[in-house]
Chain A
Amino acid sequence: MEPTGEAGAAGVQVKDDLAEKCQKLFLEFLEEFQDKTGEILYLPDAQELIRPERNTLVVSFTNIEHFNQQLATTIQEEYYRVYPFLCRAVRHFARDHGTIPPSKEFYVAFSEFPTRHKIRELTTSKIGTLTRISGQVVRTHPVHPELVSGTFLCLDCQSVIKDVEQQFTYTQPSICKNPVCANRKRFMLDTNKSRFVDFQKVRIQETQAELPRGSIPRSVEVVLRAEAVESAQAGDRCDFTGALIVVPDVAALAMAGTRAETSSRVTGKEGFDADGLQGLKALGVRELSYRLAFLACHVAPTNPRFGGKALRPEDQTAESVKNQMTVQEWEKVFEMSQDKNLYHNLCSSLFPTIHGNDEIKRGILLMLFGGVAKTTMEGTSLRGDVNVCIVGDPSTSKSQFLKHVEDFAPRAVYTSGKASSAAGLTAAVVKDEESHEFVIEAGALMLADNGVCCIDEFDKMDLKDQVAIHEAMEQQTISITKAGVKATLNARTSILAAANPIDGRYNRAKSLKQNVNMSAPIMSRFDLFFILVDECNEVTDYAIARRIVDLHARNVESVERVYSTDEIQRYILFARQFQPKITSEAQEFLVDQYKRLRQRDSSGGTAKSAWRITVRQLESMVRLSEAMARLYCSDEVQPKHVKESFRLLNKSIIRVDSPDINFDQDQEDNEDLNGQNEVMEDQHPPQNGTNGTNGHAMEAEQAGKEEPAAAKATLRMSFAEYRRVSNLLVLHMQKLEQLDEESSLKKSELINWYLGEMEGEIDSEAELVAKKSLIEKVIHRLVHYDHVIIELTSTGLKKGGEGGDEPVVEEDPYLVVNPNYILED
């Protein structure tokens, strides 16, 4: 470890065989290495070096590995030792192929170094070897020249001493080269004849992902030289290739003389304290600690940086992501991609402490995967990010969803609409206190670039501010014009918003739009709207109670998930690299669905409606389908993906707006309904009833529910009522099934039981008849459309003891609850 550190300084005098050999081999590599077309790969680059501003040759480390594995190993292991020799090789190479000024220094930089280390892993054993680390730049220092080779003037005899190599510390000649002059101390640096190189210090810090919880992120100073300076800005996440070195150099410490020299010049202003200290130092008291620094030769951004030129997404491929994973990690990802139940497992693992609300979970999951961003031929970019909004009553775990996402997603920012102005959310121009220059300060949206911005209490935000982020939602940029600064900044973020209904509680009588304090343009930018209502029914209450009591009853820290957060994160990262293309079948299917929606929209007599099916919904559908395809790591969007995205889009809106259930409509195809449609249909139920000829079927919680049989327009009930009745029935049946595995109910029994329950509400015979037909419809619907209840009509499933009822099976089948059906709120 240490010998290598010394070698740099000592190498001038002592002949280093290994290093010389390395230099030779490296020169050979530069001369001989060819690309696929047979050209010498580094020749054009070397010729470029003639230009005065260039001095660094970037060499791919992978190429060296291909050329000569042994050379690569030597460079890696003994990097700090051989580095000056490699630079010399570059110099020779450049000199051979062009005319260069003799005094010019050349440097080599290594890119594409395979392994990457965390900052936390930089230990003494890494000193001097070539490594790559990544981190966030938190501080940059100004660039200044560093002396590489000094020319000194002896103050005693005026002789000039040339080419005194400098290694980190200011090194004077040990003795004047004039044999008669015994001067050891009095030299003057001739700056005009000395050579300098650009030098910059930056500090990088561990990224959050690498940080153990509860620890302060480590940081390390990085020294950049030559062309690497100014390539990293504060806030960037960069990869640095180079070596860990010890500062101050151990060798330099030994030269107490030089230190005393420099300090004596300035003690005047330091006061007596410094004098005392110096005195102690002179006595030989030495500190025994050193700091580490990272000497980097090459800088590459790990992430697109804000404000600057961004990496194209295609720079990162599935392959490169895979390469960054360990074997086990990759196996897990592969295993996950093969999981048949992936969709469900991911949802439940992502929000283990939130009960129910499966659709919202799905929506958020798809948001995390995101659609594919595209650029049209005209250069307009179409966003791929999915925006989701949750509207709901207070205390319905909206904030929990947001917090979860913030906690989970790598680049997520949580902010509250109430607390942040538009400036806090977007970007602000502020005056720098030190330099008095205007600088752009990133807001939450930009901080979440390529991530998720969670905005709580979206509706509390000023309308003005909502407009400000409008641009960000559609254009994925933020532009500011203020104080003479004009800038367009990237803000490619998905937005997950939560909003409270206007009156505190969601009013089912009103449409979504009337319930939320949001402008129509903003509303239309959300791909998915979910509505959470604090509904009251026994089943949900039981489930909630169970969940909460469970939470408190046991003292276990962990929550059960199929996949750990890390695994999901990795999976999403990997899956996001896919750029699924829409297949022709899926295309047709999409067009089909959209056409249906449009038709419904225009023919539905909904001219007054605020929500029209527009291209936006089509775009949303495309995005969601793409996200769906990504979820399955599929390269193409298939009809099944479209189907799910369509279903979700459909559901997202209607949960509450589910209007009255109409049993009088005949509509076989129940897949082609659209939620937005329902929003306004809800307001005009009579219209619906009379207009029943066209496909105005209703969509509700458990997919379409139309009753093909009836014709009476009066046969309707509110959705909530329907839910209540169906839950009642299911609960009753489940209870019976629990009591006795063998028992099952006949349809007629169930109806009778129900009517018995309702006895108190029935006054006349006519009512009884009406109720009876209604409950029949409900059961029919539950059986045929919602598939909550299964009719046991086939003989094979019949219980032996009740075989006698066989003849009436068709009219009065046994009913059992679908074992896959889970009661939800």
Chain B
Amino acid sequence: MPSAQDWINNPLGVVEGIFEQNNSNPEWDKKVVDFFKEKLAEKEAQSWVPSLNDVQPHYLKPNSLVKFRCMVQDMFDPEFYMGVYEVVDQTTKSKNLKCGKYKDVTECVQVDFHSRNNLPSERQTFYCVPVPGESPWVKECYARSSQARVIPSTSYTPNRQKRSYDEDDDMDTQSQRPGDTNSGRKGSADSRSNGDCKRQETEAPSSSGSSSASTPSCASPLDLYYPLPGEQGPACLVKVYEEWESFKLNDTLEVYGILSVDPALSGVGEEKEVSSLLDPEESMETAEEQRAHSPPPSLVPRLHMLHAVPLKHNNPLLPPAASEEVAAGVLSELGATRSELLAFLTHVLLGDALAAEYLLLHLISNVYARRDILPLGKFALNLSGCPQTSPYTEHLHRIIQQLVPASYRLPMSLQNMNSMRMVPRKDHVANRLVSGALQLAGNTSLFLDETQLEQGQLDTAGVRNITALGNLISWQKVDYDFNYHQMEFPCNINVLVASEGRSLLPSDCQVQLQPQVSPPSVEEYLSGVQAALAPSQINKFRLYLTVARTLEYSITEEVTKAVEEDFVEMRKDDPQSMTAEDLHRMLVVSRLLSISLGQTTLPTDVWMKTKHMELLRMSRIQQQKSVNGHEP
């Protein structure tokens, strides 16, 4: 269907066509957007569009329509461009109006910059990175569903010889972060991604030296501003033309836009610093700013947004188009899935059913509202009593990674705490938001591994990092450092702290792990548990977690009364053991428990079960305390 594909291969032609048809009609840009929206709404049309997440940019045809699944990492200042400009044909001297929208450069024609018909317009630039910590299964799943046929663009190859990404032969397979490569994960991508990662490590923007030889003009390699270390995939400068106020920082989007990789856009290596004495305006942007704002398009392609879909969740198994039916299917066998998942988690948690319950609740928790400063629905779990000797926590994280769309394991070693950049910081020199590990998309699972912590000295940065983690857990917000002040950004991150004893960080709920089995090799045991799981089963789990999280929930008037009376009653017995905070937590637990069972209101039996679970949990903690007390 060559004609149907036209809007994918040559969208600019379509835009120009519409522009010319609607001669100087100001409504024309709306028509363009509508046209593409309509096209994309067609059945399966979205899967024809090649995705920047799966395909390296130089395999894509420049100026073709592509999509990009990403998180907004930074927002630049608005930019002015010529919305409409006049060109003069050299031979005929005839003047012609051209549309400057959706492109960065104009080709080889004499532009009349003084024409009265020129129309400056405003657009906004977002710096977008791939969703941080996106699980490999999500990437694979998206890549598999794509039907785009990508023909490598030959015209573009010469220019990329010196860039770091271009020798990748295997870039269409998704690689993992370096930390994951030694995992026992099954999958064909593993062996290759291992090599891939090594290469990535030496050539990744954060590492130094390697690229300086090939690109002498940049003294140090470019920072691509990935929130997490070792991330891969293209970052993009997304130019937004409509309604940019509706996008917020850290939003997850699927952007459909026109790819622009013209090498003229690179700000690096251009002669901008010269003649500042005579010509200050030339140096309106300093070299640092140039580097930060106009990185070479081969590394950071430009994307002119035609349409964007905010992603409520990043689960490829629940496509937005068919979400209703799929969700209904999940709901119909929700009870069964829940008990299967619970059994699975129980095995994973070495036979501890109670901890498995809590872990399940944690996995479906979600900040559903904010009352004033209070985030509601968050459920940060502290899994204490994790065996420290074996790499248990690492495996545990890998299993969680298999279940959720995005996650990140942060080993809380002293060195990490002291040296890692967690809180994003504004670099006023480059006028750029430098990302940190806590700049994560909504509903990302953050796995804090406190078993890695050892005794030693925390320096200032370390204390700051610990404070930031504490704030994140307690208030679900991160205070970005703007040098002269801090700015609060609300977030929605599921924090799981795995620790040996009680965590030093605050948490909503602490569960003491009580292993029922003690396999000789945790590794073998866990891979056995995973092997017993069919792929269809694990997909069911993934769907279940995503669907359960979005369920609506309320408490009826009668139950409210009962809960209140219960609380007063409990306080009568022992005011110390039941505080307002406890009630708070119990209500969160009962809410999560209800929706995990598919209940949208709180039934009394769930409330009773909550009380029972809490009682068990508290007694475990008490027990642990007394055990510790006996130890010298």
List chain A positions with a Cβ less than 8 A from chain B.
1-3, 6, 123-124, 136, 138-139, 141, 144-147, 168-170, 189, 199, 201, 203, 205, 208, 211-221, 234-235, 246-254, 262-263, 265-267, 270-271, 273-274, 276-278, 280-281, 283-293, 352-353, 395, 397, 400, 403-404, 407, 416, 419, 447, 534, 536, 538, 541-542, 544-546, 548-557, 559
B551-570: CB near A (< 8 Å → 1, else 0) gives: 01111000010011001100
Task: Name the contact of B276 in the complex, choosing from A144, A234, A263 (C-beta under 8 A).
Answer: A144
Q: Which residues of B contact A248 (CB under 8 A)?
A: 281-282, 284
B71-87: CB near A (< 8 Å → 1, else 0) gives: 00011011111100100
CA–CA, A253 to B80, complex, Å? 15
B77 touching A220, Cβ below 8 Å: yes
Smallest CB separation, A243 vs chain B (Å)? 15
CA–CA, A218 to B483, complex, Å? 15
Task: Name the contact of B75 in the complex, choosing from A216, A273, A292 (C-beta under 8 A).
Answer: A216
Q: Which residues of A contact B482 (CB under 8 A)?
A: 138, 205, 217
Q: Which residue of A lies closest to B560 (CB)?
A: A549
Q: Which residues of B contact A407 (CB under 8 A)?
A: 372-373, 488
Q: Which residues of B contact A555 (CB under 8 A)?
A: 368-369, 552-554
Known: A265-B274, A290-B79. A538 touches B572 (CB 8 A): yes
- Which one of B103, B281, B373, B482 has the highest number of Cβ atoms from chain A below 10 Å of its Cβ? B281
Task: Name the contact of B563 in the complex, choosing from A170, A212, A545 (C-beta under 8 A).
Answer: A545
Smallest CB separation, A10 vs chain B (Å)? 9
B113 touching A251, Cβ below 8 Å: yes
B41 at the interface (CB under 8 A from A): no
Task: Name the contact of B264 in the complex, choosing from A220, A277, A397, A548 (C-beta under 8 A).
Answer: A277
B449-487: CB near A (< 8 Å → 1, else 0) gives: 000000000000001101100000001000000111101
Known: A277-B266, A283-B108, A548-B584. A291 touches B428 (CB 8 A): no
B575 touching A534, Cβ below 8 Å: yes
Task: Name the contact of A271 in the complex, choosing from B114, B216, B285 (C-beta under 8 A).
Answer: B216
Q: Which residues of A contact B266 (CB under 8 A)?
A: 273, 277
Task: Name the contact of B81 in the complex, choosing from A218, A263, A290 (C-beta under 8 A).
Answer: A290
B572 touching A169, Cβ below 8 Å: no
CA–CA, A625 to B575, complex, Å? 38
A553 touching B560, Cβ below 8 Å: yes
Smallest CB separation, B570 vs chain A (Å)? 9
- Total number of residue pairs linking A and B with CB closer than 8 Å: 256
Smallest CB separation, B227 vs chain A (Å)? 15
B567-596: CB near A (< 8 Å → 1, else 0) gives: 110011001000111011001100100000
Task: Name the contact of B217 in the complex, choosing from A170, A219, A270 (C-beta under 8 A).
Answer: A270
CA–CA, A281 to B100, complex, Å? 17
Q: Which residues of B contact A274 (CB under 8 A)?
A: 217, 269-271
- Which one of B113, B426, B554 has the highest number of Cβ atoms from chain A below 10 Å of its Cβ? B113
Known: A249-B281, A416-B467, A546-B564. A208 touches B108 (CB 8 A): no
B121 at the interface (CB under 8 A from A): yes
Task: Name the contact of B122 in the complex, choosing from A6, A124, A168, A234 (C-beta under 8 A).
Answer: A124
B77 touching A219, Cβ below 8 Å: yes
Q: Which residues of B contact A544 (CB under 8 A)?
A: 567, 580, 583
Task: Name the contact of A353 in the complex, choosing from B100, B263, B372, B433 (C-beta under 8 A).
Answer: B372
| 29 residue pairs bridging A and B, Cβ less than 8 Å apart | A136-B484, A144-B280, A168-B280, A213-B490, A217-B482, A218-B77, A219-B431, A234-B428, A235-B484, A251-B114, A252-B281, A253-B113, A254-B113, A262-B275, A262-B282, A277-B264, A278-B271, A284-B108, A285-B106, A287-B264, A287-B265, A288-B81, A290-B81, A353-B371, A353-B374, A548-B587, A549-B583, A551-B371, A553-B560
A285 touching B262, Cβ below 8 Å: yes
CA–CA, A400 to B263, complex, Å? 53
Smallest CB separation, A195 vs chain B (Å)? 13
CA–CA, A555 to B105, complex, Å? 49
Q: Which residues of A contact B118 (CB under 8 A)?
A: 2
B370 at the interface (CB under 8 A from A): yes
A285 touching B264, Cβ below 8 Å: yes
CA–CA, A278 to B272, complex, Å? 12
Question: Restricting to B596-618, which residues have a CB under 8 Å from any CB of A?
Answer: none
Known: A212-B245, A549-B560. A288 touches B371 (CB 8 A): no
B80 touching A290, Cβ below 8 Å: yes
CA–CA, A416 to B280, complex, Å? 45
Known: A289-B81, A536-B571. A270 touches B271 (CB 8 A): yes
CA–CA, A555 to B584, complex, Å? 15
Smallest CB separation, A798 vs chain B (Å)? 35
Known: A147-B278, A199-B280, A548-B580. A288 touches B105 (CB 8 A): yes
B428 touching A138, Cβ below 8 Å: yes
CA–CA, A253 to B581, complex, Å? 65
CA–CA, A291 to B80, complex, Å? 6
A419 touching B249, Cβ below 8 Å: no
Task: Name the contact of B284 in the complex, choosing from A271, A280, A293 (C-beta under 8 A).
Answer: A293
B568 touching A170, Cβ below 8 Å: no
List chain B positions with a Cβ less than 8 A from chain A.
74-75, 77-82, 85, 100, 103-111, 113-114, 116, 118, 120-123, 215-217, 245, 248-250, 262-266, 268-271, 274-282, 284-286, 368-374, 376, 426, 428-429, 431, 433, 463-464, 466-467, 475, 482-485, 487-490, 552-555, 560, 563-564, 567-568, 571-572, 575, 579-581, 583-584, 587-588, 591
Q: Which residue of A lies closest to B591 (CB)?
A: A552
Known: A138-B428, A250-B113, A266-B271. A291 touches B284 (CB 8 A): yes
A280 touching B281, Cβ below 8 Å: no
CA–CA, A284 to B572, complex, Å? 83
Q: Which residues of A contact B280 (CB under 8 A)?
A: 144, 146, 168, 199, 201
- Which one of A189, A286, A534 has the highest number of Cβ atoms from chain B below 10 Å of its Cβ? A286
CA–CA, A198 to B599, complex, Å? 71
Task: Name the contact of A552 in the complex, choosing from B107, B488, B587 (C-beta under 8 A).
Answer: B587
Q: Apart from A288-B103, A290-B81, A292-B78, list 4 A-B contacts with CB within 8 A.
A: A146-B280, A291-B284, A353-B371, A557-B370
Q: Which residues of B contact A280 (CB under 8 A)?
A: 263-264
B105 touching A215, Cβ below 8 Å: no
A170 touching B279, Cβ below 8 Å: yes
Q: Which residues of B contact A208 (CB under 8 A)?
A: 485, 487
CA–CA, A628 to B222, complex, Å? 57
Task: Name the contact of B263 in the complex, choosing from A136, A219, A276, A548 (C-beta under 8 A).
Answer: A276
Smallest CB separation, B251 vs chain A (Å)? 8
B568 touching A538, Cβ below 8 Å: yes
B284 touching A247, Cβ below 8 Å: yes
B564 touching A214, Cβ below 8 Å: no
B104 touching A287, Cβ below 8 Å: yes
Q: Which residue of A lies closest to B277 (CB)?
A: A144
CA–CA, A170 to B429, complex, Å? 25
- Which one of A139, A168, A273, A538 has the highest number of Cβ atoms from chain B below 10 Å of its Cβ? A273
CA–CA, A220 to B77, complex, Å? 7
Q: Which residues of B contact A416 (CB under 8 A)?
A: 467
B371 touching A545, Cβ below 8 Å: no
B564 touching A400, Cβ below 8 Å: no
Q: Which residue of A lies closest to B278 (CB)?
A: A170
Smallest CB separation, B618 vs chain A (Å)? 15
- Which one of B77, B109, B110 has the highest number of Cβ atoms from chain A below 10 Å of its Cβ? B77
A541 touching B484, Cβ below 8 Å: no
B433 touching A216, Cβ below 8 Å: yes
Q: Which residues of B contact A136 (CB under 8 A)?
A: 484-485
Q: Which residues of B contact A220 (CB under 8 A)?
A: 77
B106 touching A288, Cβ below 8 Å: yes
Task: Name the contact of B269 in the complex, choosing from A199, A246, A270, A403 (C-beta under 8 A).
Answer: A270
| In the complex, the 5 A-B pairs of residues with the closest C-beta atoms, listed nearest first | A536-B575, A214-B248, A553-B555, A170-B279, A545-B564
Smallest CB separation, B72 vs chain A (Å)? 9
Q: Which residues of A contact B368 (CB under 8 A)?
A: 555
A545 touching B583, Cβ below 8 Å: yes
B79 touching A216, Cβ below 8 Å: no
Smallest CB separation, B261 vs chain A (Å)? 13
B75 touching A290, Cβ below 8 Å: no
